[in-house]
Amino acid sequence: MPDDVFMASPEDIDPDSHIVGVYYVESGLGLWRAGVEIAKEESIGTWTELTTMTQRVVERLAAKVYKVDKEKRLVWIAYPLELFDLDCGGIPNLLSIVAGNLFGLSALENVRLIDLKIPREAARHFPGPKFGMEGVRGLVGSEMGVPHLGTIIKPKVGLSPRETAQVAYEAAIGGVDFVKDDETLTNQPFCPLEERLSHVMEKLDQVREETGRTVLYAVNITAQHEAMMELADRAIEQGANMLMVDVLTAGFSALQSLAEDPSIKLPIHVHRAMHAAITRNPRHGIHMLVLAKLVRLAGGDQLHTGTAAGKMEKEAAEVRKIDDFLRGEWNGLKTVFPVASGGIHPGIVEENIRLLGPDLVINAGGGIHGHPMGVRAGARAMRQAIEAAVKGIPVEEYAKTHEELRVALEKWGKKYA
């Protein structure tokens, strides 16, 4: 089949009737030819001529390379919407086309899907978030422009249900808006989910009685699909006010099932465990922005996106681009609350807010539970650091009149992990 079947000029591509993949490509073939190889593999072509090919298939379903940037090694490929089974196949089918066999093509040394442009016609097949950033804020009663403070129960695993609940209580009394399980804690025998949730919600009810504040708890229901849906039902029966799922280990279909279930009227916190196996290599794999778009389609209300300062990625401009996408208008879907998490402590709160913007969840695990004065003081120190940043007061200055913050700075300073 001639290469020109898989090539087009930009004016021939209707963005409303195509899903467009933008790829970084390294190949000795040159960008146009490399793009053709991707377009072939991911739509109607193969390594040889086919006796079964028809003109109808060629005209309607061939993916088209329509633009390249030689300096940046970028290739734009348009996939006609008719290629996709978005109602039944959903994101699994979508990924099998735009991010399928192409990563193993021997003609490509490296290839990375860096963006995915999805038109409204395609997006309408997906639920999107039920709550979004504004809805989550409404549950807590917080104002736009002020970060939410979250915490992860530490140690990651090993605490009993009652111990977990006590940690959650101390953090909530100290000022967090949000408590979550770590990605490795689900329904293990040492901390069964239902028992854990019951004790945590009892403690958070106590916090509301004592302070008038509502604190969310994202209980991790990640499991095999049927078990996960059953855990969701049982969590709701136990009074859960938020669910959590590890989207890459459970699958995008798992997230979408939760979001589409009419009986689940809770926001969904999305963890991205395992993402770096896909996103970390800047020359190969899939950019986190693409995963963020898929999470938004599938119905996540909060999503971990990385930090500007902490123990994880520190490419602040890239993280900010993802966060701005999640907070901005896109195909009429609700927003997603971006979550900065990983090695954050009071000394680097201001840096994260400055670089990522104030409408985000700042999550601290060790940065709260490692405070020398205990969990409650650790939460207060993080809250004080947020207050200082929002007021535009240097954190060292604010610490002079806030003991918990002062002690935190003495331990961690303003260094990144």
What's the CA gap between 378 and 383, in Å, rounded?
9
155 preceded by a cis bond (ω within 30 of 0): yes
pLDDT score of 367: 96
pTM, full prediction: 0.96
pLDDT score of 311: 64
Please give the full DSSP string across 52-69, using - where no structure is assigned: T--HHHHHHH--EEEEEE
pLDDT band at 199 (very low <50, low <70, confident <90, very high): very high
pLDDT band at 267 (very low <50, low <70, confident <90, very high): very high
pLDDT score of 313: 53
Domains and CATH numbers, the chain: 3-123 (3.30.70.150), 132-412 (3.20.20.110)
Asked if residue 416 has pLDDT above 80, the reply is no
Catalytic residues: 154, 271
The bridge status of strand 18-26 relative to strand 74-80 is antiparallel
Asked if residue 4 has pLDDT above 90, the reply is no
CA of 217: how far to CAs of 76, 130, 260, 401, in Å? 41, 17, 21, 31
pLDDT score of 52: 83
Per the CB < 8 A criterion, the answer to whether 236 and 266 are in contact is yes
Q: Please, what is the angle between helix 288-298 and helix 90-98, to 10°?
A: 160
The tens digit of pLDDT for each residue in 73-126 reads 999 999 999 999 999 999 999 999 999 999 999 999 999 999 999 999 999 999
Q: H/E element holding 218? A: strand 216-220
Provide the phi-psi class of 90: left if phi over 0, else alpha when psi is between -120 and 50, else beta.
left
CA 346 to chain centre: 23
What's the CA gap between 412 and 410, in Å, rounded?
6
Closest Cα partner for 386 from 415, 345, 417? 345
